[in-house]
Homo-oligomer: A and B are copies of this chain.
Amino acid sequence: MAEPVDPAQPPHPADVADLVVEGCTVLAHDPDGTIRFLEDHTVVVRDGAVADVTPAARASDLPARERIDARGQLAMPGLINCHTHTPMTALRGIAEDMPVEEWFNDWIWPIESNLTEEVVELGALLACAEMIRGGVTAFADHYFAMDRVADAVVRSGLRAALGWTYFSGQGSEGRERSLDFALRRAGDADGRITTMLAPHAPYTVEDADLAATAELAREHGLPVHIHAAENRAQTDGSLERHGRTPVETLHRTGLLDVDLLVAHGTGLVGSDFEVLGRATGRIGFATAPKGHLKFGWDTTPIRALRSLGIPVGLATDGAASNNTLDVWESMTLTALVQKSAEKDPRWLTARQALDHATVQSAQVTGLGERAGALTPGRRADLILVDLTGPHVRPLHDVAAALVFSARSADVLTTIVDGRVLMRDRRLLTLDVDAVATELAQRLPKLTDRAHGRRIQDYDVGR
């Protein structure tokens, strides 16, 4: 904690904070991870990092280049979208109310054969705007033409863990491009970009390619981001076709021995948990409950994963299936859906949901030491949430108010690396109308499916 400022002494320049966020309730993590709410506190930011969290009265005279009066607001770590495809925002609402095989084969993969780099960047920019307005400060993205997504990250001010998707159908070129990108753009955007290798899924990438990916990950110290056991049909199809589950394939190809981010996992079965329990890499899952409900899938088995100590982060998947990139909604839905799936209202409490949204999401995306808590030394990725709306009052329980009453539209201010990207709901780095208008001009060409091509087939063997 900071020493009180002596008013008799003019402040040394080093004492001038870059930003102070004053008089708010702070969602703080004790060293053991317990969440506490500190009333009337101030967050002090220097050099893009949290310098101090202190009672407001102690920091009222602290000189600062920028001050935010945050009374009536709550400061918490920015949300992290642990699995998305930002450019697919261009396809929001294009293919609704249908099973995943029809969604992929008749709509998404034919349309994606029309992708241009411009559409990728415009979709990513629109996604960044949506996420900043929803209190998201970092995201893990898995898509194509990722240099353009990286450019959108630079422009938006967000933090991101980026991976260039590949299928075995592309030959070794796909894997090489994923590696090249991961090596080339890591550390970009003043360090806000980290990178991952991004094989699509065990049903579209062959074992030899997965094994080669694990080898590259070890060699270059890169994490891997993959879809696996997305739903039960994939697991059943894998068992019929290969005699093993998708998770057993991850194990057999060495991917459970590197840092691995697995999207979805709603198709995990009993034997998978033993396999996961023997993993030597840092494994994490990303759950996207809205899309799981919408496709009629089961949900990510968080209780079983927790018993193995495997963190589960919150995600939205892409807007083409999930319709929003609203991680706040994912937080609320995760609590609701887990209670329902376990038929246990005591499970996945509001505080557990906040742990998934903060510490666990940071772990899953490789940001465990740099984000996920407003602790001195971590990057100043934080959001300010309005607690004065009629839908959160009275405030008997702050954790419950955040998870079950508040929503993404209550995020007033979004800050990444100490830089304010949205203030009082006004975006400061992106122009939504300009981006959406430019994107709209490209939509007729993008969504034309008359050519009959598709970039891949969804066929999980059943």
Contacts and interface: CB of A to CB of B under 8 A. Distances in A.
Interface in A86-129: 90-94, 96-100, 126, 129
A436 B129 contact: no
A255 to B, nearest CB: 29
Question: Which 8 residue pairs of A and B lie closest in terms of their CB atoms, listed nearest first?
Answer: A409-B409, A323-B404, A293-B336, A93-B397, A129-B390, A93-B396, A130-B390, A93-B400
Contacts of A326: 391, 407
A333 B342 CA distance: 18
A400 B323 contact: yes
Interface string A358-390: 000000000000000000000000000000111
Interface of A: 90-94, 96-100, 126, 129-130, 133-134, 290, 292-297, 319, 323-326, 333, 335-337, 339-340, 342-346, 349-350, 388-397, 399-401, 404-405, 407-410, 432-433, 436, 439-440, 443, 447
Nearest to A100: B345
B93 A126 contact: no
A446 to B, nearest CB: 10
Contacts of A99: 345-346
B397 A96 contact: yes
Contact of A436 (B293, B394, B405): B394
Contact of A339 (B296, B337, B343, B349): B296
B405 A407 contact: no
A290 B405 CA distance: 11
A96 B45 CA distance: 34
B130 A324 contact: no
Given A97-B346, A346-B97, A407-B407, A394 B92 contact: yes
What is the copy number of this chain in the assembly?
A: 2
Contact of A343 (B296, B400, B410, B432): B296
A59 to B, nearest CB: 26
Contacts of A323: 400-401, 404-405
Nearest to A409: B409
Contact of A340 (B293, B405, B409, B447): B293
Contacts of A349: 96-97
Contacts of A333: 336
16 contacts: A92-B401, A93-B396, A93-B401, A93-B405, A94-B396, A96-B404, A97-B345, A100-B345, A129-B390, A290-B336, A294-B404, A325-B391, A390-B432, A394-B436, A394-B439, A394-B440
Contact of A394 (B391, B394, B409, B443): B443
A343 B231 CA distance: 12
